[in-house]
Structures are given as structure tokens and as C-alpha cells.
Amino acid sequence: MLDKKVLRDHFKQVCQLYAQKRGISQLPEKLIWRCIEIPEAGFDVLYARGEVKRYLPLISPAVDDASIKKIGTYSVEAGICIFVYVDGKTYLTKNREVIQSLQDLGYQKGDYDVPLSQRGKIKDNEDFAQLWAQLRR
């Protein structure tokens, strides 16, 4: 049985190879630090009307042809951006410079539900909520 680290490393290599073939570039190091990775287990958002919605990464290590095409895509709503990076991880940001860089680097617009764009609050994940609160616009 393969361990999780081996599977994650293989997944990352597959994603990076796909990104390279499509000409999708990495963000400058200073900008990736202005993003947060959506945890593998996802996170819940509590919205004003009491609705709780769970958000998961847009692709997982069990990548298939349809999901790998999400690498290098993003959606923006209300100044918040969700995107699938060259490493296959899904990130969130509210930093305008990151969003502009994604566009400049050739990331394609997707049609994804953007977490926290409707004034929701992160529920039951205090560490993730603190990381989000600390991100600069």
C-alpha cells in the first residue's frame, strides 16, 4: 500500500507537468504568501441566513482528465479569488495583486463558487479563520 506522501508527491508532479505543457506559470514567491491553501478536508462557511456550506479543494489527488483541466483556472467574486495552482492545490486570496498576476500569467476564468464572497464566516476552523483574517487585500 502506497503512503499518502508518495501519492501527494506523484499528484504534485502530474499537476506541474500538466501546467508546464499548457504554459501555466507559478506566481512570484512573494505573492503565493498572500494566499491560503484550502485544507484537504475542506472548511465550512456559515452564511447570514444560517446556511452552512462546505468548501473542498477543486481537485484532489485522485485526479482525472476532467479535474486536471482545472489547473490554471480561477474565479473572482466580490474581490475574493479561488484558483487552482500549478501544484494542484486550491487557494483563496483577497489580494488584488495576486488576482492581476493570475490574469497576466494566463490563468483562465472558471465558473466556481467563491467561498466567503457572500459575507460568510469560517466555522469550526479557527486556524484557517485566523489565516484568512491576516491576509492583506
* Burial of 134 per CB tally in 10 Å (0-12, 13-18, 19+): exposed
What's this model's pTM, rounded to 2 decimal places? 0.92
List the chain pLDDT tens, one digit each, 137 residues. Answer: 567 778 888 888 989 999 999 999 999 999 999 999 999 899 999 998 889 999 999 998 776 778 889 999 999 999 999 999 999 999 999 999 999 999 999 899 999 999 999 888 999 889 999 999 998 88
How far is it, in rounded angstroms, from Cα 137 to Cα 95?
A: 4
Amino acid 110: pLDDT: 94
Instruction: Give the list of residues 6+ apart from residue 118 with CB closer than 8 angstroms, or none.
Output: 47, 48, 78
pLDDT value at residue 1: 52
Measured distance CA(30)–CA(26) in Å, rounded: 11
pLDDT at 99: 95
Q: Which pLDDT value is given to residue 73?
A: 96
Please tell me the predicted confidence (pLDDT) of residue 2: 60
Which letter, b or e, does each residue of 17-31 get, where b requires 16 or more Cβ atoms within 10 Å of its Cβ? ebbeeeebbebeeeb
